[in-house]
Structures are given as structure tokens and as C-alpha cells.
């Protein structure tokens, strides 16, 4: 499959790829992946997709303020196969973000990959927040590298690869480094939140082996910021 296939938008769904087995959709920031509680939270990526493809089923999710690529299955058998691929860490995901401050690699030069290995746990008193907690947190690993520094603006554009898939993992890990994502209403201070009209986090790449024929599928989406 092409890494840059034709795009189309129908019924509020921007899809990068659609065939009889799976969908790759480009979710806008602010849209839920699945319906929430209450009549004001029924609009979602999955309900919009199911209006066009009734057999579309969710496989993974992005946070509501995060934009970018979401993979959906068509039918239960494909949903199980793709969910298994996610559970086995066979799906390669990349994100881009803009963070506060001039983030420097711990060693090596800009463009080389570094790692954040900090355990993440639910912050039950401040749900839905997560927190780094060495005692009760789950092992969590994020790879990151610097793409560009904005010296004048005091920000860094980074590429991120979540090796594990904890809730809010990228947001928590970057905040723990002291470089929260611009526009992050949960993990950034008020000044950093105010520097962007939205969370500057975008799921920009997906790669996986197709469960039926084994061929490698790769899809990309440019960040809108």
C-alpha cells in the first residue's frame, strides 16, 4: 500500500485509505474517537465512520485533543487481528509534537533517538490525569528525537515513538522532562497552554503488516501545525 495514498473527505471523515478490510482515518483535534457519556458527546470519529462503513470497528484511540491517523477494522475478525497486532507491539506509530523549551538529547546530536523510561500510573484523586510513579506505575517507554529548534520562540519540534501504549503516555513523559507539549490543558502550566490554540500533538505515521496477506502497510499524515 502506498505511503501517501489519495485522500477523501465524506460526512466529516477525512480518510487516507479505505478498502474492504480496514480504514485509515485522519482525526481532527477536538473530536472523540468513540462516543462519550451524555448527548453532547455522541459525535465521534467512529460514529462518523460507521455512517459510511457500517462494519467499521475501533481498534485503538487517540486522545480527544490529539489529531492524526487512526486505524479502524472492517468486521469483527479484522478487529481481533489488528487488536492483536497492537497488543504484540507490531504496529509502528510515530507522532510529532511541539514542546516548550529547547529540548536537547541526553547524549549524541540532534536527530539521534533518545529514550524516556518512566513508569506511569493513574492519578486517582485527579482523574483522568496520569502521573509518573515508580512504586505503582506500569513500565512505559517513549523514543524521541529532535526535528528542529525554534531558538527565537523557545520551542522544539520532536518526533515521538511510543513503544508502550499507556494512556497520555507522550504527554506525561514530555512533561516529566520539563518540556510539556504546547496547548496541553492537562500537563502544562497556564503559560504553556496559552501558547497554542490546541494540543500540538499529531499522529503522523502508521505502519503494520496486513493480517490477511502479510504485506507491509504504511501511511503518513503531515501535522497541521
> Is 63 in the active site?
yes
Block residue for cell numbers 457519556:
37
Give the sign of the dihedral formed by CA 158, CA 163, CA 167, CA 172.
negative
Cβ-proximal residues to 220 (8 Å cutoff; 6+ apart), any chain: 3, 4, 69, 204, 205
* H-type alpha helices, 57-142: 76-87
- Marked catalytic residue, from 14, 63, 184, 189: 63
Q: Please name the helix (run of DSSP H) or strand (run of DSSP E) that holds residue 20, with its range, or none.
A: none
φ, ψ dihedrals at 173, nearest 5°: -65, -45
Instruction: Tell me how far apart the alpha carbons of residues 104 and 214 are, in angstroms, rounded to a whole number.
Output: 38
Contact 17, 49 (CB under 8 A): no
CA distance 43 to 33: 9
Of 89, 221, 223, the residue nearest 162 (C-alpha): 89
- Cα separation, 222 vs 147, in Å, equals 14
Catalytic machinery residues: 63
Amino acid at each position: 500500500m502506498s505511503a501517501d495514498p489519495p485522500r477523501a473527505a465524506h460526512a466529516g471523515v477525512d480518510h487516507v485509505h479505505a478498502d474492504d478490510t480496514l480504514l485509515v482515518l485522519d482525526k481532527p483535534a477536538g473530536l472523540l474517537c468513540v462516543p462519550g457519556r451524555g448527548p453532547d458527546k455522541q459525535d465521534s470519529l467512529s460514529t462518523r465512520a460507521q455512517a459510511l462503513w457500517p462494519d467499521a470497528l475501533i481498534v485503538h484511540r487517540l486522545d480527544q485533543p490529539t489529531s492524526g491517523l487512526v486505524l479502524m477494522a472492517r468486521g469483527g475478525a479484522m478487529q481481533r487481528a489488528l487488536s492483536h497486532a497492537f497488543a504484540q507491539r507490531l504496529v509502528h506509530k510515530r507522532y510529532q509534537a511541539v514542546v516548550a523549551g529547547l529540548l536537547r538529547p541526553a547524549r549524541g546530536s540532534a536527530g539521534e533517538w533518545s529514550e524516556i523510561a518512566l513508569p506511569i500510573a493513574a492519578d486517582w484523586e485527579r482523574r483522568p490525569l496520569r502521573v509518573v510513579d515508580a512504586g505503582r506505575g506500569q513500565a512505559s517507554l517513549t523514543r524521541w528525537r529532535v526535528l528542529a529548534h525554534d531558538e527565537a520562540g523557545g520551542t522544539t519540534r520532536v518526533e515521538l515513538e511510543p513503544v508502550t501504549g499507556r494512556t497520555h503516555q507522550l504527554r506525561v513523559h514530555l512533561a516529566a522532562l520539563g518540556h510539556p507539549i504546547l496547548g496541553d490543558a492537562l500537563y502544562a502550566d497556564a503559560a504553556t497552554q496559552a501558547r497554542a490554540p490546541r494540543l500540538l500533538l499529531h499522529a503522523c505515521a502508521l505502519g503494520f503488516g496486513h493480517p490477511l496477506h502479510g504485506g507491509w502497510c504504511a501511511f503518513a499524515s503531515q501535522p497541521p501545525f
